[in-house]
Structure 1
Amino acid sequence: PENINIPAGSRFFIEDVYFQYSKDGTLECETPGKAGNVQLTDQPLLSLDTIPGLESIKMKKLVIPGQEEEDDASLYDRYLIRARREAVSANRAHYKKWAEEVAGVGRAKVFPLWNGEGTVKIVITDGNLDVASDLLVKRVQEYIDPVPGEGEGQAPIGSKATVESAKWLDIDIEVAVELQMDWTLEGAQKEIEEKVKTLLKSIAFEKSTIRMSALNDILYHSESVSDYADVLLNGESKNLVLQDIEIPRLRQVKVIEQTG
Structure 2
Amino acid sequence: MNPDELAASYMAEDFDYWLSLMLDNVPDDIDQREGSIVYDALAPAAMVMAQQSLDRANIIKQTYIKTAQGAFLDYRAAEHGTARYVATQTEVKAKFLDSDGNPINNVQMGDKFASIGETPIFYTVQKINDDLTGELTADELGTNANSYLGQVLPVTSNDSLNWAEITEIVAPARDEETDDHLRDRLLRANDWIAYGGNITDYLAMLNKISEVGAGQVYPVWNGAGTVKLVIVDNNLMPASADLVKKVKNIIDPVDSEGNGYGLAPIDHQVTVVAPTLLTVNISATVNIDGNHGVDIVKSKIKMAIEAYFKLLRQTWKSVNPITGRGYSQTIYRSKVLSQIMMTEGVVNSSVPKLNETDQDIVLTFDNQTSQLPILGEVVLDG
TM-score, structure 2 length as denominator?
A: 0.61
1:212-238 per-position Cα deviation (integer Å, ceiling 9, x unaligned): 221221122121311122421121222
Instruction: Give the structure with the higher percent helix.
Output: 2
Q: Is the 8 A contact 1:118 1:158 kept in 2?
A: yes
Matches of 2:204 and 2:171, distance apart in 1: 18
Residue aligning to 1:173: 282
Which stretch shifts more, 89-98 or 225-234? 225-234
* 1:229 and 2:350 matched: yes
Q: CA deviation at 1:13?
A: 2.7
**Residues 38 and 212 of structure 1: is their aligned pair in 2 closer, same or farther, counting only changes over 3 Å?**
closer
Q: Is the 8 A contact 1:209 1:240 kept in 2?
A: yes
1:92-146 per-position Cα deviation (integer Å, ceiling 9, x unaligned): 1111221232222111000001100000000011111112111111111111111
AA aligned to 1:89 is G
**Residues 217 and 55 of structure 1: is their aligned pair in 2 closer, same or farther, counting only changes over 3 Å?**
closer
Alignment of 1:89-100 (within 5 A): 89-100=196-207
Alignment of 1:132-151 (within 5 A): 132-146=239-253, 147-151=256-260
User: What SS is found at the alignment partner of 1:16?
Assistant: coil
Q: CA deviation at 1:247?
A: 1.4
**Residues 218 and 55 of structure 1: is their aligned pair in 2 closer, same or farther, counting only changes over 3 Å?**
closer
What percentage of residue pairs aligned between the two structures are identical? 29
AA aligned to 2:120 is D
Matches of 2:167 and 2:184, distance apart in 1: 36
User: What SS is found at the alignment partner of 1:217?
Assistant: helix
Q: Is the 8 A contact 2:304 2:340 kept in 1?
A: no
Matches of 1:80 and 1:155, distance apart in 2: 27
Structure 2 unpaired stretches of 5+ = 1-97, 319-327
* 1:20 and 2:127 matched: no
Residue aligning to 2:266: 157
**Residues 187 and 89 of structure 1: is their aligned pair in 2 closer, same or farther, counting only changes over 3 Å?**
same
Q: Which one has more relative contact order, counting CA pairs under 8 Å at least 6 apart? A: 1
Structure 1 unpaired stretches of 5+ = none
- The total of aligned residue pairs comes to 255
Residue aligning to 1:43: 151
**Residues 144 and 75 of structure 1: is their aligned pair in 2 closer, same or farther, counting only changes over 3 Å?**
farther
Q: CA deviation at 1:75?
A: 4.5
**Residues 55 and 74 of structure 1: is their aligned pair in 2 closer, same or farther, counting only changes over 3 Å?**
same
1:138-194 per-position Cα deviation (integer Å, ceiling 9, x unaligned): 111111111320111100110011110112111111111221113344333212111
Residue aligning to 2:215: 108
AA aligned to 1:101 is K
AA aligned to 2:124 is Q
AA aligned to 2:305 is V
**Residues 69 and 82 of structure 1: is their aligned pair in 2 closer, same or farther, counting only changes over 3 Å?**
farther
Which stretch shifts more, 81-90 or 103-112? 81-90
AA aligned to 1:13 is A
Q: Is the 8 A contact 2:330 2:362 kept in 1?
A: yes
AA aligned to 1:11 is K
What is the RMSD computed on CA atoms of the aligned residues?
2.4
**Residues 76 and 148 of structure 1: is their aligned pair in 2 closer, same or farther, counting only changes over 3 Å?**
farther
**Residues 255 and 181 of structure 1: is their aligned pair in 2 closer, same or farther, counting only changes over 3 Å?**
same
Q: Is the 8 A contact 1:123 1:166 kept in 2?
A: yes
Name the larger-Rg structure: 2
Alignment of 1:2-13 (within 5 A): 2-13=103-114
Q: Is the 8 A contact 1:208 1:242 kept in 2?
A: yes
Q: Would you identify which runs of 4 or more consecutive aligned residues in structure 1 move more than 3 Å?
A: 50-56, 71-88, 182-185
Residue aligning to 1:191: 300
Q: Is the 8 A contact 1:82 1:93 kept in 2?
A: no
**Residues 77 and 189 of structure 1: is their aligned pair in 2 closer, same or farther, counting only changes over 3 Å?**
closer
* 1:208 and 2:329 matched: yes
**Residues 111 and 81 of structure 1: is their aligned pair in 2 closer, same or farther, counting only changes over 3 Å?**
farther
**Residues 116 and 11 of structure 1: is their aligned pair in 2 closer, same or farther, counting only changes over 3 Å?**
same
**Residues 5 and 84 of structure 1: is their aligned pair in 2 closer, same or farther, counting only changes over 3 Å?**
farther
